[in-house]
Structure 1
Amino acid sequence: MKRVIICDEEMESVSKLSTMIGQIFPKQFLLHGYVSAKQLFYEIEDGFIRTADIIFLSMEIKQVTEIDFAMYIQQKFPMAQIIFLAENLQQVEAMFDEISPDGLLLKPLNRQRLEKCVKKVLSEKGGKEELFSIKQNGTAIFFPIEEISYVESQGRKLQIHRKDAVICIYGRISGLCEAYGETFIRCHQSYAVNRNHIVELAATKIILENGMEIPVSRQRYREVKAALEHNHAYL
């Protein structure tokens, strides 16, 4: 499920936009609404929000400088599509010198324009290479998610198995699967695999392209099999 963030300091605007998205695209998006730019900033910095597909950003936020905040959002979520919300075109003229939004919607919001804009940015996002983000020593690091073959949970840490390296980070495997559910399949309490690296599903294990065998729990076998058949990940 794709993650959508709405940041507008008017509660009515957040509520209206959330409702419209839910009606136009039922059960397609996980929505997060913020009426405080500072709250969104702190949740990103604290690791509560790790990924985003679409970000609706109002040009009426007063707690921070709009340009600086938009640039911060773009840096933190390079794969996200940013759609500006504005009262008039003059509000966003200065923004185009610093950051290029993926979409622009003028208030009051129009259902048809919203639907057209979201579909457009989703089609554009489909052509981008998805990145995986981690934070090491206070620095955000990005690399293609396709470099990850599987993830293993060990206590409070996750081992990210890439082609030529293993990276350890703090986190929960459930959170990773929620954020990257279109890529990873949870096959075991302690394992999630990149579905694009799977070559075979057996009764108790998954075999990856590199020959690694990942356990599949009895409780999750049917779920894994259905997910792979639905996405034609194996035959």
Structure 2
Amino acid sequence: MINIAICEDEEKMQCLIERYINNILKDIEIEYKIQKYRSGEELIECDLKGIDILLLDIQMGKMNGMDTARKIRTVDNKMEIIFITSLIDYVQDGYEVRAYRYLLKPIELEELKKHVLNCIKEIEVNKKNYIVIKNKSNTYKIHSNEITYVEVQKKNMLIHTINKNFDVRYSLEKIEKDLNLDNFIRCHKSFLINLNYVENIKQNVAILECGQEVPISRYRYKDVKEKFLKFLGDRIC
């Protein structure tokens, strides 16, 4: 089941988006549900963790879409957010809340279809992508999209996720091979980062959304920065 939410203060636009989504998904063998909200405040009061894809208008009333997305990210890092706007000026702000998809008004069916289907594809892939770590008597199943970064400390490895950290005996080479995903990159001999959670890259440091700074070795800096920019470009296009 894919849960889709539309947060848009114009009723006509709400109905248009709902009609488009029904049109897009009618021939796809997938169960889905659409919920509609008229304001950011109304959306925030619902069960946010039950939403897979959110189509969010930026220019709304008291709480605009960007502020709504910031509140969402304090409790949910997995939701796929597609911004709806009349202006493209908000693209840079979208990086802060991990929203890389934009629909410009007037909304075109083919553009919406591209974004919705890509979101569904990512959701399905992420559900299947996980690693299994065995540590003494414990076995951990860790979803790759929840890992923010990994660091090696002497003989131990610390796997940082959005919910908790795992202190295990494991090699960085092994976990890098197990993940085998385009959004992960080795930035240092002792660090691996998930580009989904990188807010900015400066000289020799990656700044994550949580404010954590992860070192980038001098000889890896160029490759990391290029991959980060390509990652952002691919997500926006």
TM-score by length of 1: 0.49
TM-score by length of 2: 0.49
